Amino acid sequence: MELYIALKVIWAVLLGVLLSGLGIMVGMDMGVGALLRFVGRTDAERRTALAVIGPHWDGNQVWFILGGGAIFAAFPTLYATSFSTFYVVMILLLFSMIMRPVAFEYRSKVDARRWRATWDWAFLISGALPMIIYGAAFGNVLQGVGFHFSWDGQYYQDGSFIWYLLNPFAVMCGVLSLALAVHQGGAMLMIRGEGPIAERARRYAVPAGLLAAALFAIGGVWVRFIKGFAYTAPVNPAMPATPLGGPSVAMRAGAWMDNFHQHPVLWLLPAVGLLGMVAGPLALAARKPILGWWLGALAWIGTIFTTGAAMFPFLMPSTTAPAQSLTVWNASGSAYNLGWMLAFALVFVPIILSYTAWAFRVMRGKVKTESVIANDHSY
């Protein structure tokens, strides 16, 4: 029984790790795409900016797959419910991400200004939209989502997805996510770009990081007034993996702060996030992009884990049936499943980290515009 509870907690932490990796690595690529039309004034400069992430962007998509795969395998009820609730949003996300590889492949096929400008807009949309949706998703689950289950476990959605996507708090979270991505992408353009590309990237990345810090601080105050969720009776962490028949849950303003009040050490998480958001832009302003990139990664980690610490053990709370909220305790897979998944994760996640580090080491150094121009079929 204790092992099952431990596996649930471990996978909750691993989910945070994978979502942080998604924000850092995929967010970096998305940030470059969102900045493309602004840091590149000529076709040669835009091709150079794309060459900065060209060797890595497709490999970084593994974090997107890992995040979705982890939810599917470790928390199958959460996977089914969230993908159903946000179905239209997921279609928008997938459509925008499908545009991205197509843009990489087709942009250089025709040497025409209008053709390439069209694909540059595709890069902007496929860079900005997924990150806005990513952040808005966190904003939505913090506020709770309207859904419930019938006696036979059938899922029913309550309310409109438009409100889930466009409510003010979710929009703020989406802009925060995009700002972190722009900072991360700008830092990478400074690391591997040169001349006007690096300088323009710095001019956009610095205010983006500071904007993220401001929004993070505002969100920290705002969340105190949001109706959070809390158990009103003792809960058995080893409960069956079903949202039916669980203990009662109350909605009250400030409930998301309970874990921080009970465990003050958790305040280190938002402190780390805010430190990264403030110190990262300062490092970029001082033309220390490598330090700025790592501080941006720290900002992502602090942001994701602050959200997780506030909500734990809730994963996707229900506003219409709070007692049926999905949590780490009632939405997980079996102990057998979690155990085997952990074994695979302990093998393959270090492999992914190793080959990612190796790829970046091999491809280190500045991208020369002359070399990109010499290759007529690149980007």
CA dihedral 52, 54, 58, 60 (to 10 degrees): -10
The whole-number pLDDT of residue 263 equals 95
pTM of the predicted model, to two decimals? Answer: 0.91
Question: Tens digit of pLDDT for each residue in 349-366?
Answer: 899 889 888 988 888 878
Q: Which residue has the tokens 């890595």?
A: 56
The whole-number pLDDT of residue 375 equals 66
Question: Tens digit of pLDDT for each residue in 284-294?
Answer: 999 999 999 99
Which structure tokens are listed for 352? 């992914």
Specify the higher pLDDT residue, 87 or 123. Answer: 123
Q: Inform me whether the pLDDT recorded for 152 exceeds 80.
A: no
Mean pLDDT across the stretch 14-25? Answer: 92
Query: pLDDT tier at 300 (50, 70, 90 boundaries)?
Result: very high
For the chain, the domain total comes to 1
Q: Read off φ and ψ for residue 166, nearest 5 degrees.
A: -110, 5
The Cα–Cα gap between 228 and 95 comes to: 32
The Cα–Cα gap between 185 and 292 comes to: 11
The whole-number pLDDT of residue 377 equals 56
Give the DSSP per-residue string, 315-327: EE-BSS-GGG-EE
Nearest by Cα to 204 from 34, 1, 7, 27: 34
The Cα–Cα gap between 73 and 61 comes to: 18
- 3 state DSSP class of 152: coil
Q: Inform me whether the pLDDT recorded for 26 exceeds 70.
A: yes
Which structure tokens are listed for 39? 């840091």
The whole-number pLDDT of residue 42 equals 86
Angle 140-61-194 from CA coordinates, rounded to 5°? 105
Containing structural domain, residue 113: 1-378
Question: Tens digit of pLDDT for each residue in 112-149?
Answer: 888 888 888 988 998 999 999 999 989 999 999 888 88
Cis peptide bond prior to 313, omega within 30° of 0: yes
